[in-house]
Structure 1
Amino acid sequence: MRRIVVHIALVAGAALALGGCGFADVRAPVPEFMRAKAPDPPAMGTPPDVKLLLRQKLDSVFVAASQPTEVRVSEPRPNLRGPGWTACVKAEVVSVTGQPLGTQTYRIEISDGAIADRQKVEGEDTCATESYELV
C-alpha cells in the first residue's frame, strides 16, 4: 500500500512540474524552440496624404505670422516610437518684424489622419537626407 502511495505522489509531482512548463517569453534565455513566437507588428495601413493635411492645417505646423512660403514635405514614414506616421516639412519663414529667418524644418507626427505633434528638427536628424516635394 505504501508503495502505491509513493508512486502516486511521484506521478502527481511530476505532472505538476511538467504542467508548469510551457513556452517562455520571446526574450527568455532558453533555447529557441522553447520560446513563444514573436508577435507580428501591427499593420500600418495606407500612408496619409500629407500634402492635403498641410494644405488644410498649415497653421498647426507654422505660425500664421511667420508667413510660410515654398512649403515642402517629405514622404510619410511609419513612426518608430508608436502608432502613426512621421514626415518632415520645410518652409521659408519670416520673423514678427518681417525679417527673413530662412528655412525652418519640422518633423510632424500624424495620428488618426491628423497632425498630432510637431518638433523642430535638430542638425543630426534624418530630415536632412529626405527628398521633398512642394505642397
Structure 2
Amino acid sequence: MLRAVRLIPLLFSAAVLGGCAVDAHINYVPDFMKQPVPSQPVNLPPDVGEILKGNVAAVFAQGASPTAISYSSPVPGKFGGWDTCVQGDVVGVTGKPLGVQLFLVNIDRDRIGRRERVGDDHWCATQVFKSL
C-alpha cells in the first residue's frame, strides 16, 4: 500500500511533464484540433487633429487661450499609445503673452492621457508641425 501511495504522485508528475515540449512550437496535437491564432488588430495612428479640436483644454492650461495650435505626426509611445508633439502660442494669467509652448502628449485609445511640457532641446523641437 505504501508503494502505491508513492507511485501515484510519480505517475501524476510524469503525465503532467510528459505533455510539455522542449520547444514551444512543437506539440503533438493534430492541426485540425488546434485553435486558430487570433489575428492582431492593426493599431492605426489616431487622428490627432480631431482629438485636439475637442480637447484643447486637456493639453493647455485653463485660461491660456492658445492660438496657432499645431501638432506633429504621432509616433508609437514608449509605454503604449501614441506620442505626438503639440505647440501653441499662449498667454499668461495676467494676459501677457508667454510665447510658444511645446508639449509632448500621449494619446491612448483616442483619449489624451499624459502631457508633458518640453523644452527646445527635446526631440519635439525638430518635428514638422501641421496647423490645427
Fold match (TM-score > 0.5) = yes
The Cα shift of 1:45 comes to 1.2
**Cross-structure match for 1:70:** 68
Which of 40, 52, 55 matches 1:54?
A: 52
| Unmatched tracts of structure 2, length 5 or more | 1-17, 24-39
**Cross-structure match for 1:85:** 82
Evaluate the alpha carbon distance shift between residue 84 and residue 44 of structure 1 in structure 2; reply closer, same or farther with a 3 A threshold: farther
The Cα shift of 1:82 comes to 1.8
Q: 2: CA distance between counterparts of 1:116 and 1:100? A: 26
Counterparts of 1:12-27 in structure 2, within 5 Å, are 22=22
Q: 2: CA distance between counterparts of 1:72 and 1:118? A: 15
1:124 aligns with 2:126: no
Residue 86 of structure 2 aligns with an amino acid whose one-letter code is: V
Residue 120 of structure 1 aligns with an amino acid whose one-letter code is: R
Deviation by residue 1:72-95 (Cα, 9 ceiling, x = unmatched): 00000001x222100000000001
Report how many aligned residue pairs link the two structures. Answer: 99
Percentage of pairs with the same residue: 34
Counterparts of 1:21-36 in structure 2, within 5 Å, are 22=22
RMSD: 2.0
Stretch deviating more after TM superposition (88-97 or 119-128): 119-128
SS in 2 for 1:98: coil
Deviation by residue 1:20-70 (Cα, 9 ceiling, x = unmatched): x945xxxxxxxxxxxxxxxxxx86611100001110000000023010000
Contact kept, 8 Å, 2:119 with 2:125, in 1: the verdict is no
Contact kept, 8 Å, 1:74 with 1:88, in 2: the verdict is yes
**Cross-structure match for 1:8:** none
Q: 2: CA distance between counterparts of 1:90 and 1:44? A: 28
**TM-score, normalization by structure 1:** 0.66
Residue 108 of structure 1 aligns with an amino acid whose one-letter code is: V
**TM-score, normalization by structure 2:** 0.68
